[in-house]
Amino acid sequence: MEHKLKGSSVRYIGIGSGKGGVGKTIISINAGEILAEQGYRVLIFDGDLGLSNIHLMYGIAPLKDLSDLIRGLTTIKELPVKVKERLFFISGGSGFHELADLPKQRLVSIIHALHEFAEENYDYVIVDTPPGLHRTTITLLSAVDVPIIVTTPEPTAIADAYALIKVLNKEEGVNSFHLLINKADNEGEALAVYESVKLLAAKYTEASVNYLGFLKFRKNLIRNVINQNPVDRGFKNELKKAIQKIEPSKRETESFWSKILKKIGI
């Protein structure tokens, strides 16, 4: 491939869901907090286009987002917003959608720069994707190293989670997923949800679905979000157990950004 980037030492984790309201962004934020507390340098990339809301949950207004970089109004170094030691986020704005409209040479230049910046500054990049089957969601989740699909026990959320897995498998060849069940009353309920998705995937796709764990519904977390403090100790402890099930970091032969270039058609 003409524009293939060198292998990556950064681990890219994608958080996706078939529908909105299942807790995807809260999970992205708390996962970032956990990894940063473990000593890793972490960047949360808010890929939810014009509906970016990580900054709202933290109560921090970013001065620049990916759109400003694409328009030549800022540099990559000005994009990350520091939340705490070793933890940063970048607001995607509508920038990811705009990438595909750039002249080829400009696009390649920006992608290479994003790749190099991530390699130099971070150990993990957590990609919070738009809910549903949005084209941006499919592109991002098919390029990450670890795709995590979030659902709740609601029948519509389960059906939409399976639909997302099916599209990623059939259209993009993604064969391995981690399923995380949020707002479950107990592990028995969560395992029943997992078995439903696993059986559907086994019957109609070639994808394997791994059980990552479950997170209980917590009213105090909702209050925390209202107070722009989207972190909860109990929630983090449950999520930490789930994250520990993900395979250890390894150097990838092709970087996330190289895959993005390929999917955009460069």
Q: Pairing relation of β-strands 176-184 and 87-91? A: unpaired
Bigger pLDDT: 32 or 47? 32
Pairing relation of β-strands 11-17 and 124-128?
A: parallel
Q: What is the pLDDT of residue 5?
A: 66
The pLDDT assigned to 224 comes to 76
Expressed in angstroms, the distance from the first to the final Cα of the chain is 9
For residue range 64-121, list pLDDT tens digits in order: 888 888 888 999 999 999 999 999 999 876 666 677 677 888 888 888 899 999 999 9
76 by Cβ neighbours in 10 Å (0-12 / 13-18 / 19+) ranks as middle
**Which two tokens mark 24?**
């995807």
- How much of the chain, in percent, has pLDDT values that exceed 70? 91
What is the architecture of the domain spanning 11-264? Answer: 3-Layer(aba) Sandwich (3.40)
Pairing status of strand 87-91 against strand 42-46: parallel
Residue 1: pLDDT band (50, 70, 90) is: very low
Helix and strand counts by DSSP (H, E) for the chain: 11, 8
pTM recorded for the entire structure: 0.91
